[in-house]
Amino acid sequence: MEVLTTPRIVVDFFTHSYRISGHLDIRRLTLSEMLNDRTTNFLVVDDAYVSPIDRPGEIIASYPYATLVKGNLTLVLAARQEDVLPRKQSYGSYYGAYLYKIFLTVPTFEVSGYLRLSARVDLRRILALEAEDFLLVVDGRIRSSVRPDIVFNAGGLLVNKRQIGAFCIEESD
């Protein structure tokens, strides 16, 4: 039986207007698995802090827990890749030989980082045909398009595919 060493992680959730920071229990499912779980449209976060998206350091409210509607999330950030990857792609197993540098836009933010895939595929198909609602980006960085001084770095982040405005791939040799 597999035992995770970190049962709770700190996660930042971004909507169109707010950043919600809180703790998430990942003993049963990783962050990616929770967000892409089609059996529920909600996610419960403990110790939730709410900040305006243009002033992410200013806490306007805090709650013992918050229920988030997954479809309304734009981005989700975690410090470590291991906490975001589906279990089949992490914890000692093979998780992708091909690394694609990407740039994409979502409301209020631009995202850069890498897609890690197990095979060479037409990346445009990922947006249209893959079953997951959230696209996994490793070694990611998001920057506010309105206030470029607001930048977040993450070992792993998940982007709601329905929120993507532009999707760009850096060609490799």
Return the pLDDT at 92: 45
Provide the phi-psi class of 166: left if phi over 0, else alpha when psi is between -120 and 50, else beta: beta
Q: What is the mean pLDDT of residues 114-143?
A: 81
Query: What digits encode the pLDDT tens for the residues 40-65?
Result: 999 999 999 999 999 989 999 999 99
Q: In this structure, are residues 136 and 160 in contact, taking their beta carbons and an 8 Å threshold?
A: no
**pTM given for the model:** 0.87
Question: How far, in Å, CA of 26 to CA of 20, rounded?
Answer: 17
Return the pLDDT at 85: 85
Domains and CATH numbers, the chain: 8-78 (2.30.30.100), 88-169 (2.30.30.100)
Question: Considering only CA atoms, which of 25, 77, 81 is closest in space to residue 56?
Answer: 77
Query: What digits encode the pLDDT tens for the residues 66-114?
Result: 999 999 999 999 999 888 888 665 544 445 567 889 999 999 999 999 9
Examine the pLDDT at 27 and tell me if it is beyond 50.
Answer: yes
Q: For a pLDDT cut of 70, what percent of the chain falls above it?
A: 83
Question: Considering only CA atoms, which of 143, 150, 100 is closest in space to residue 125?
Answer: 100
Q: In this structure, are residues 129 and 33 in contact, taking their beta carbons and an 8 Å threshold?
A: no
Question: How far, in Å, CA of 35 to CA of 73, rounded?
Answer: 10
Return the pLDDT at 127: 73
